[in-house]
Amino acid sequence: MNEIVKYSSRIEAALDRVEVQNKLTRVEYKICKLKNGLKIRDMEEEIYIKNIGMSIKMIASIVGIKEVEPEDTYQFQRFVKMYYDFFTIDEINTAFDMALVGQLDKYLPIGKNGTPDRNHYQRFSMDYVTKILNAYKKMLSAAVIKAYQAIPPKKYVITEKEKIKNQNALIDSILDKFIAYRSRGIRPDFLVNQVVMNLLMEKKFIDKVPEVTEDAIEIAYKSILRNGEVINDLTKDKIIKDRNYGIKNDKLNSLAYKYECSLVVQRWFDEILEKGLDINKLLK
């Protein structure tokens, strides 16, 4: 049921989209569409009892149960309200229709003869009811997930205002790093190095982004060994193992690239200090 509850609200509107419809079979589309009705949990008690009573008679007639015991009627009303209240009445009815024609066979338990067990043995027992409704729930969950995965991802377009805001935040970060380097000798280090490199290239402060050298990899590796990098033990062990066997490790290369970017910015800072340039004017 978790998948049904988690994804249902999103797929209700998406079912009208061609991309979603093309991914679903006719039956999958039908049962997803049925989710749009009034849930049993939202029905008034009097209306629920009336509707579920009509369902019992209709289901019994369709599946060939000649007589439904009063106790079975009561238990059916109770079970559905307690364990399947996320369904609509239409879904309850549809589940038994689909079971009858074999559309739930893939999700039903296997009987003694090796075939899907949809037999009722002339009793509207809760064993029969639950195996049908559970099979329908499994099929619905699979269909809902399939529909959800077919929804095209939202395309986010950054506005000019957001671009300016992000640019200003990046410049402020570079200025803070410059002040820290000038006053305390702290090596410049950024969370997103590539963005900084792109800005420096855009303003023609550097000719190209740095390449990862073996020296940088060795420096990053030694930093890991002395616990100079914030990584978990599993990642550290994997890096050490790969290094010992001469295997390329993406995390180690990423740390080495981070070091190379730091050197590029540090050299640029040195040039600014040596020439007495105004970094604020350079970045504006």
Report the pLDDT value the prediction gives residue 11, as an integer from 0 to 100.
66
189 and 91 part of one domain: no
The whole domain housing 35 covers 2-150
Query: Which residue among 96, 127, 150 closes a domain?
Result: 150
169 and 34 part of one domain: no
167 and 267 part of one domain: yes
Instruction: State the average pLDDT over residues 126-153.
Output: 89
Q: How many domains does the chain have?
A: 2
21 and 54 part of one domain: yes
How confident is the prediction for the chain on average, in pLDDT? Answer: 88
The reply to whether 176 falls in a domain is yes
143 and 82 part of one domain: yes
Asked whether 7 and 145 are in contact (CB, 8 A), the reply is yes
108 and 20 part of one domain: yes
Determine what percent of the chain is predicted with pLDDT higher than 90: 50
42 and 177 part of one domain: no
Q: For residue range 66-90, list pLDDT tens digits in order.
A: 888 889 899 999 999 999 999 999 9
Report the pLDDT value the prediction gives residue 66, as an integer from 0 to 100.
87
126 and 177 part of one domain: no
